[in-house]
Amino acid sequence: MPLSLLKKNEDKNLKELITFLSFPSVSAKSEHKKDLKACASWLKDHLNKIGFKAKVCPTGGHPLVYAEYMVDPKLPTVLYYGHYDVQPPEPLELWESSPFKADIRKGYIYARGATDDKGQTWCHVKGLEAIIKKTGTLPINVKFLIEGEEEVHSANLPAWLKKNKKMLKADIAVVSDTAQFSKTLPAVTFGLRGIASCEVFVYGPNRDVHSGSYGGAIANPINVLCQMVGQLHDKNGKIAIPGFYKNVKAMSKWEKAKFKQLPYNEAAYKKSLKLQALHGEKGFTTFERTWVRPTLDVNGITGGYQGEGAKTIIPSMASCKITMRLVPGMDAKDICNLLEKHLLKIAPKSVRVKVDKHGGASAVEVPTDGPWLEATGRAIKKGFGKEPVFMKEGGSIPIVGDFKKILGVDTLLIGFGQQDDNIHSPNERFRIVDFVKGCKTAAILPDELASVK
Ligand code: BES
Ligand code: MN
Ligand code: MN
- Tell me: do 209 and 303 sit in the same domain: yes
Distance 46 CA to ligand 3 centre (A): 23
Asked if the model's pLDDT at residue 34 lies above 90, the reply is yes
Of 361, 388, 405, the last residue of a domain is 361
Instruction: Let me know whether 384 and 336 are in one domain.
Output: no
pLDDT beyond 90 at 274:
yes
The angle, 0 to 180 degrees and rounded to 10, between the axes of the packed helices 118-135 and 432-450 is 50
The number of folded domains in the chain is 2
Residue 279 falls inside a structural domain: no
pLDDT tens per residue, range 413-430: 999 999 999 999 999 999
- 425 and 376 part of one domain: yes
What CATH number is associated with residue 337?
3.30.70.360
CB proximity list for 199: less than 8 A, separation 6 or greater: 319, 320, 321, 322, 355, 356, 358
Mean pLDDT of 354-358: 97
Count how many Cα atoms sit within 13 Å of the Cα of residue 300 in the half-sphere of its side chain: 6
Q: How confident is the model at residue 298 (pLDDT cuts 50, 70, 90)?
A: very high
What's the confidence (pLDDT) of residue 105? 97
Closest CA to 56 of 48, 45, 47, 64: 64
pLDDT tens sequence across 192-210: 999 999 999 999 999 999 9
User: Would you say residue 383 has pLDDT above 80?
Assistant: yes
Model confidence band, residue 151 (pLDDT cutoffs 50, 70, 90) = very high
97 and 15: one domain? yes
**How far is the centre of ligand 3, averaged over its atoms, from the C-alpha of 99 (Å)?**
15
| pLDDT at 145 (0 to 100) | 98
pLDDT number for residue 3? 94
Q: Max alpha carbon distance in the chain (Å)?
A: 80
Q: What average pLDDT score do residues 265-294 get?
A: 97
Cβ-count burial of 453 within 10 angstroms (0-12 exposed, 13-18 middle, 19+ buried)?
exposed
Give the mean model confidence (pLDDT) for residues 107-135.
98
pLDDT of residue 453: 74
One domain, residues 327 and 344 = yes
In a domain, 49, yes or no: yes
Q: What is the pLDDT of residue 247?
A: 97
Q: Do the beta carbons of residue 85 and residue 420 sit within 8 Å?
A: no
Q: SS3 for 386-423, per residue?
A: CCCEEEEECCCCCHHHHHHHHHCCCEEEECCECCCCCC
What length does the chain have?
A: 453
Look at residue 267 in the predicted model and tell me its pLDDT.
98
Average pLDDT over residues 257-283: 96
Of 346, 361, 376, which one is at a domain's C-terminal end? 361
Can you tell me the mean pLDDT for 371-387? 97
Same domain, yes or no: 222 and 96: no
What's the mean pLDDT in 67-96? 98
- Given a contact cutoff of 8 angstroms between Cβ atoms, the answer to whether 43 and 144 are in contact is no
The minimum-distance atom of ligand 1 relative to the CA of 87 is: 13
Distance between Cα 38 and ligand 3 center (Å): 20
Which residues contact ligand 1 via a Cβ below 6 A?
116-117, 150-151, 153, 177-179, 195, 393, 395-398
Measure CA of the first residue to CA of the last residue in the chain; give whole Å: 24
Ligand 1 atom having least distance to the Cα of 189: 8
Q: What is the pLDDT of residues 305-352, one digit of tens each?
A: 999 999 999 999 999 999 999 999 999 999 999 999 999 999 999 999
Taking only the tens place, the pLDDT of each residue in 212-257 is 999 999 999 999 999 999 999 999 999 999 999 999 999 999 999 9
Three-state DSSP at 182 gives strand
Cβ pair 61, 121 in contact under 8 A: no
Q: Which domain holds residue 379?
A: 2-192+363-450
Q: Which of 27, 175, 177 to mutate to test the pocket of ligand 1 (most atoms within 8 A of CB)?
A: 177
CA of 396 to the centre of ligand 3 (A): 8
Domain membership of residue 261 (yes or no) is no
Q: What is the pLDDT of residue 451?
A: 96
What confidence score (pLDDT) does residue 444 get?
Answer: 98
Side chain identity, residue 97: S
| Residue 209 and residue 229 in one domain | yes
Protein residue with its CA nearest to atom 5 in ligand 1: 395
User: Which pLDDT score is estimated for 359?
Assistant: 82
CATH code of 63's domain: 3.40.630.10
Q: What letters, b where the CB count within 10 A reaches 16 and e where it falls short, cover 337-376?
A: bbbbebbeeebeeebebebebbbbbbbbbbeeeeebbebb
Q: Ligand 3 centre from 441 Cα, in Å?
A: 22
Q: Which atom of ligand 1 is nearest to the CA of 360?
A: 19
pLDDT of amino acid 1: 83
Ligand having the closest approach to the CA of 112: 3
How far apart, in Å, are the Cα atoms of 89 and each of 93, 115, 424? 10, 14, 8
The protein residue with its alpha carbon nearest to ligand 1, atom 4, reads 395
CB neighbourhood size of 114 (10 A): 31
CA angle 380, 445, 381 (to 5 degrees): 20
User: How far is ligand 2, taken at its centre, from the CA of residue 10, in Å?
Assistant: 23
59 occurs within a structural domain: yes
Q: How far is the CA of 406 from the centre of ligand 3 (A)?
A: 23
In a domain, 267, yes or no: no
Has residue 68 been placed in a domain? yes
- The span from the CA of 42 to the CA of 101, in Å, is 17
Pocket test for ligand 1, best of 85, 121, 151 (most atoms within 8 A of CB): 151
- 115 with 198, same domain: the answer is no
The rounded mean pLDDT for the chain is 97
Which atom of ligand 1 lies at the shortest distance from residue 325's CA?
21
Q: How many CA atoms lie within 13 A of 21 on its CB side?
A: 30
pLDDT cut 90: percent of the chain above it: 99
Residue 72 has pLDDT above 90, yes or no: yes
Atom of ligand 1 nearest to the CA of 83: 11
Same domain flag for 402 and 342: no
User: Are both 376 and 439 inside the same structural domain?
Assistant: yes
Q: Supply the pLDDT for residue 206.
A: 98
369 and 388 fall within a common domain: yes
Supply the pLDDT for residue 217: 98
pLDDT of the residue at 391: 97
The Cα 420–Cα 385 span in angstroms is 21
d(CA 448, CA 319): 51
Residues 348 and 445 in one domain: no
From the alpha carbon of 193, which atom of ligand 1 is closest?
Answer: 21
Q: Which of these three, 308, 333, 361, is where a domain ends?
A: 361
The answer to whether residue 69 sits within a structural domain is yes
In a domain, 262, yes or no: no
